[in-house]
Structure 1
Amino acid sequence: MARRRGRLAPYLMVLPGGLWLAAFFLVPAALMVSLSLQTGNLVDGFRQTLHWQNYTDGLSTYGDTFARSLWYGLLATAACIAISYPAAYWIAFRGGRHKTTYLFLILLPYFVSFILRTVAWKLVLTDNGPVLGPLRDNGILPDGFRVLDTGFAVVSGLTYNFLPFMVLPIYVALERIGPHAVEAARDLYASRVQAFARVVLPLSLPGVFAGVVMTFVPASSDYVNAELLGGPHNTMIGNVIQAEYFNSGAYPTASALSFTLMAILLAGIFLYARTLGARHVLEAARR
């Protein structure tokens, strides 16, 4: 009896998380797939007809929007890495007893809602805002120069809003390394660059891997930044799904686009894991 309980213990521990995952991910995903294959409208209702053309029509009509969303997500993720890695490195190895304070300062703006942060970013990037206004008034920028309603503004907003998703995993990975590993590399006559390239960077890959996944997925599917900071030519697929669902009432089309986006992101993450070497990353995480 005791042996049987011991065998069941791991499954019982996983059961609450499994039920949560089934209730709030698997069941909604199944309903979304079912709805994506239906036809009809809000007046006459929707019925199941296994209409696979919703997927082909969505890809053919919004293929450029899918590509733009993935491109913006990649740019924002790369920018987050470029900003987060040096910051996390400095906090982990130079922060001393003030590490918690520095992390709190990074996270402090994110106690404000997502919408308000994006609106504040819009006020900063506006033509007569506190940054561009004085530059234009002093003749540094030409009159026709603008940042708002451009792809750069959308990527900047994505980078700003999702920065903590990259900083924290990288910091945790670097914090586990500690200064002793670097000192050991220096004792073996490695230069600072060699110590970083052969010790710190490989051991921090688990944090980079987690940060890329946690940043790229929400950044590629976001629609708030494109709505507030972009223009008509900067629409992301999230804006299309939102418009199809709430404005047009085209639930099957919106569901097909949502599931297509999820499939593309899952395939991209899988390829990313295979390219980077998930087994190597996991082995580095166990060290």
Structure 2
Amino acid sequence: MTLTAQVKKRLVTAALVAPASLWLFVFLVLPFIAIIVFAFGERGPVGGYQPAFTFAQFANLGSRAAAFINTLVLAPIGAAACLLVAYPVAYYLAIKSSPQRRLLLVSLVIVPFWTSLLVRTYAWMYILGARGIPHLLEFVGFDNVRLLNTPGAVLLGIIYGYLPLMIMPIYVSLEKLDRRLLEASADLGAHPVSTFFGVTLPLSLPGVMTGVALVTILLLGEYLIPQLLGGGKVFFIGNALVDLFLQSRNWPFGSAIAVTLVAVVVVVLLVAMRIAWRIAGTRQVDLV
């Protein structure tokens, strides 16, 4: 390839990448830089931001320990619960269902995204509220059962809301699986359970890691589900950020929490990538 051809190729590549790069820089990098600057400032007399350089906001993170603990406990548990529900569904869609039915079933998985998460969460508020399941349980002798405004309600809402995001990466990974490997394992006399753990599961791990990382990262910033199904009793970091920025107007402290949250997300992503690489045997695994 001549020098002129190489220059043209680089110019074309730069032209294709430039719009997305500019968009990310303006709407992601610059706002995050502003958040970092705010994190080292002080709260103004009437709220907002006052220029300063102090680590006091980070030293005060312990005052929101409950939000961090709830998030760091329920987010991984929610991701694990989504995985336990999603893997059998994805396995059936990719391996067991016929090609004629597969498109319909995959469409049914995606259909919930056609409705706002807010509307779906309000529906769960009614189902778990006093006129929902607890009201039905009274007819069989279970009185004073409270489901709404509990960690269990939040966990149920997380599974319902994020299940499609876990199913699809696993489904794509299983759908690409070479069926001849499963046939070869059966021909060699392997039990179906041995085939699953020896062939299917290892080859679908990239999809599993993608789904787990995607759901966990999104849950770390979740606000709506804890707010509606937790009733203010199950506080996530996202709820703390809304309170600090919109109600308390303590922008520096909210920025410090946001920066800490981003650091946690980066750590989670790096750990997930390291585990994926270790399991996959140094093969590249795309997580996002």
Shift in Å at residue 163 of structure 1? 0.9
Relative distance call for 1:85 and 1:229 in structure 2 (3 A) is same
Relative distance call for 1:232 and 1:213 in structure 2 (3 A) is same
- Listed as ranges, the matches of 1:1-287 within 5 Å are 1-41=4-44, 43=46, 46-57=49-60, 59-96=61-98, 97-129=100-132, 131-139=133-141, 141=142, 143-277=143-277, 280=280, 283=283
Q: Kindly indicate whether the alpha-carbon contact (under 8 Å) linking 2:134 and 2:145 is maintained by their aligned counterparts in 1.
A: no
Relative distance call for 1:28 and 1:198 in structure 2 (3 A) is same
Higher mean alpha-carbon deviation, 77-86 vs 35-44, is at 35-44
Supply the AA of the counterpart residue of 1:34. Answer: V
SS for the counterpart of 2:149 is coil
Supply the AA of the counterpart residue of 1:87. Answer: V
Q: Distance in 2 between matches of 1:253 and 1:282?
A: 40
Q: Kindly indicate whether the alpha-carbon contact (under 8 Å) linking 1:42 and 1:249 is maintained by their aligned counterparts in 2.
A: no
The alignment's TM-score, normalised by the length of structure 1, stands at 0.91
Structure 1: gaps of 5 or more residues? none
Deviating beyond 6 angstroms after TM superposition, the runs of 4 or more aligned structure 1 residues are: none
Shift in Å at residue 114 of structure 1? 1.2
Shift in Å at residue 177 of structure 1? 0.1
Shift in Å at residue 213 of structure 1? 1.2
Shift in Å at residue 7 of structure 1? 4.1
Supply the AA of the counterpart residue of 1:63. Answer: A
What does the per-residue CA deviation read over 1:170-223, in whole Å, with 9 as the maximum and x for residues that have no partner? 000000004322112112222111111111111101111110111011112111
Structure 2: gaps of 5 or more residues? none
Q: Distance in 2 between matches of 1:67 and 1:205?
A: 28
Q: Kindly indicate whether the alpha-carbon contact (under 8 Å) linking 2:158 and 2:225 is maintained by their aligned counterparts in 1.
A: yes
Q: Distance in 1 between matches of 2:138 and 2:48?
A: 54
Q: Kindly indicate whether the alpha-carbon contact (under 8 Å) linking 2:66 and 2:235 is maintained by their aligned counterparts in 1.
A: no
The alignment's TM-score, normalised by the length of structure 2, stands at 0.91
Aligned residues: 282
Q: Percent identity?
A: 30
